[in-house]
Amino acid sequence: MILQKNEVAPDFTLFATPDQKITLSEFKGKNIILAFYPADWSPVCSDQMALYNEMLKFFKNYNAEIFGISVDSKWCHLAFSQSRNLHFPLLADFESKGEIARKYGVYNEEEGECKRALFVINRDGIIEWSYLSPTAINPGADGILEALETLNTK
Amino acid sequence: MSLKPAVSNTDHAQGNLNADLVIVEYGDYQCPYCGAAYPVLKELMGQFGNQIKFVFRNFPLSEMHQYARSSALAAEAANLQGKFWEMHDAIYENQHYLNESLLLKLAEKLNLDIHQFEKDLENSELAKKVDSDFESGIISGVNGTPSFYVNGKKFDGGAEDLFQLLSTNEE
């Protein structure tokens, strides 16, 4: 089952680029958005990562960083990022495959991919909001902004 | 998911402005899917325009589409000279050739005051309008372009499905 509000966000260290890793716990003090998604290279204009890429300045206003996560390798992420001109990290849940997605309860065993799921994690590393989307549907960003708004007013 | 904020007189609208049926499109001028939807919407308005108030809001995916934002600004600048829909249509009709000099050529073709048009492209009020359209799309749950809203509710379908909806209404 997908991790819920008020649960501790499991820590992880994953490749963000071919030679750089990102550790979640190093971002304490910031709000974090985790966007698990099935695969790089989905159809263009409705692409979830491309949408978030346009929204970075809105996320910044909420002191939030966003990370995309899929089971694609760091090299695949690099090519995808370059092709879409993405300005935020894509993390590779690649070895062991899907390990982090499993910890968050959003691994699709049948496809061997992450499910499409969103988490907003507060400054103390606690999950504020989580959402499991139907795989075929890009969940957009309204839920993320609402969750960030709630955090802001606390 | 519902449309926030609701349609108001700051929106660009065409068709029957008093119609009970209000369709809002969030679109990107360079998005090929919006380009494909354009002729379908044109036909929709040709056939059912007396029953529909049709609103266009900007949702430029600027990082992906190099000319999406300048096109949105061009349509807003044309609006200041009373030719929003003319520019909107001209851009979609020439989407394959889109670049900044094309936007100027279209402005000339529409007999806009070019000096004023070029000045307006730099107008920060227009940039704000494009940004606030985009932001309203985000909070309304736009997840790609084109996204449609029918009477304030997100419509899970494309232009063809809208056509279907109207045709069924007719029967």
Give the model confidence (pLDDT) of B48-88 as tens digits.
999 999 999 999 999 989 999 999 999 999 999 999 999 99
In this prediction, residue A135 carries a pLDDT of 87
Residue B33 near residue B148, CB atoms below 8 Å: no
In this prediction, residue A43 carries a pLDDT of 67
- Mean of per-residue pLDDT scores for chain A: 94
- Percentage of chain A beyond pLDDT 90 is 88
Q: What 3-state DSSP class applies to A68?
A: strand
Phi and psi for A131 in degrees, rounded to 5?
-150, 125
CATH number, domain containing residue A110: 3.40.30.10
Asked whether residue A111 is domain-assigned, the answer is: yes
| Known active-site residue A114 | no
State the pairing for strand pair B12-15/A107-108: unpaired
Asked whether residue A1 is domain-assigned, the answer is: no
Q: Which of A1, A44, A45, A136 is catalytic?
A: A45
Segments making up each domain of chain B, as ranges? 12-170
In this prediction, residue A152 carries a pLDDT of 80
- Mean of per-residue pLDDT scores for chain B: 96
In this prediction, residue B168 carries a pLDDT of 87
Average pLDDT over residues A119-145: 95
Q: Closest residue of B to A86, CA-based?
A: B63
Amino acid at A17: T
In this prediction, residue B137 carries a pLDDT of 96
Q: How many CB atoms lie within 10 A of CB B68?
A: 25
Domain count within chain A: 1
Q: Which fold has domain B12-170?
A: Glutaredoxin (3.40.30)
Angle at A77 between CA A71 and CA A82, to 5 degrees: 160
Domain carrying residue A121: 13-152
Q: How far is A95 from chain B (nearest CA, A)?
A: 30
Asked whether residue A25 is domain-assigned, the answer is: yes
Query: Taking CB atoms and an 8 Å limit, are B33 and A45 in contact across chains?
Result: yes
Q: How many CB atoms lie within 10 A of CB B31?
A: 23
Query: Taking CB atoms and an 8 Å limit, are B138 and A58 in contact across chains?
Result: yes
Q: How far is A45 from chain B (nearest CA, A)?
A: 6
Q: What 3-state DSSP class applies to B80?
A: helix
Residues of A in contact with B31 (CB under 8 A): 45
Residue A71 near residue A93, CB atoms below 8 Å: yes
pLDDT, one tens digit per residue, over A10-55 is 999 999 999 999 999 999 999 999 999 999 997 655 689 999 999 9
